[in-house]
């Protein structure tokens, strides 16, 4: 069961990386943005996601399953820590800030706080997953610690992903001045 969770979480990292890459592509093509580097975080998501799928399949085949799944938990945690800066950069980019300029100042402050909280949550969850993975590799309750590490990592991905999607779609809602009620 842990081997399947490893492969599924690797696929989840690939999906999150693809979604973030799509948003960065939209930001980079906007005329009001300046070019910025985000390669490290997204590269980590794609590489670790692919490696997680491979390690999950190998563990599913029975090749040192407890060690491979614990090592993949460490890699997943490292990817979460490294990509947390890309999450922050995406949420605070100039293009996103320009979309919020027409909104109230309170909404801009709230969006900035959400960005900081979301990236901080992802980084702290990544550190927790790394520690749990190291303890699992050391042989201390390998199975349960690996499952807990995947649970923490999955919760971080769900919370960060919902924050990203909520922030990206939040600017589309009409303001009070532009909203029209149709009977």
Q: Is residue 181 included in any domain, yes or no?
A: no
- pLDDT, residue 135, reads 95
Q: Is residue 164 included in any domain, yes or no?
A: yes
Q: Is residue 93 included in any domain, yes or no?
A: yes
DSSP 36: -
**How would you write the pLDDT of the chain (183 residues) with one tens digit per residue?**
888 989 998 998 888 888 777 777 766 655 554 545 555 677 888 888 899 999 999 999 988 889 999 999 999 999 989 888 877 777 666 555 555 555 666 666 666 676 677 778 888 999 999 999 999 999 888 889 999 999 999 898 888 776 555 555 554 445 454 445 555
Q: Is residue 48 included in any domain, yes or no?
A: yes
Please tell me the pTM assigned to this model.
0.75
Q: Is residue 176 included in any domain, yes or no?
A: no
How many domains does the chain contain in total? 1
Distance (Å, whole) CA 21 – CA 108: 23
Q: Is residue 178 included in any domain, yes or no?
A: no
Find the domain containing 18 and state its range.
2-170
Query: At residue 174, what are phi and psi to the nearest 5 degrees?
Result: -70, 145
Count CB atoms within 10 A of the CB of residue 114. 17
Q: What residues have CB less than 8 Å from 181, skipping those under 6 apart?
A: none
- pLDDT, residue 152, reads 93
């Amino acid at each position: 069961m842990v081997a399947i969770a490893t492969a599924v979480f690797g696929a989840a990292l690939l999906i999150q990386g693809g979604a973030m890459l799509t948003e960065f592509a939209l930001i980079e093509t906007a005329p009001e943005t300046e070019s910025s580097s985000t390669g490290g975080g997204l590269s980590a998501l794609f590489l670790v996601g692919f490696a997680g799928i491979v390690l999950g399949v190998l563990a599913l085949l029975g090749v040192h399953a407890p060690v491979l799944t614990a090592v993949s938990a460490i890699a997943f945690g490292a990817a979460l820590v490294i990509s947390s800066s890309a999450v922050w950069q995406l949420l605070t980019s100039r293009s996103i800030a320009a979309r919020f300029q027409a909104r109230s100042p309170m909404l801009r402050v709230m969006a900035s706080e959400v960005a900081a909280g979301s990236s901080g949550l992802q980084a702290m969850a990544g550190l927790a997953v790394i520690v749990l993975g190291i303890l699992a590799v050391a042989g201390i309750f390998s199975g349960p610690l690996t499952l807990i590490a995947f649970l923490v990592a999955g919760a971080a991905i769900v919370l960060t992903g919902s924050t990203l999607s909520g922030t990206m779609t939040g600017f589309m809602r009409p303001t009070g001045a532009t909203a029209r009620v149709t009977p």
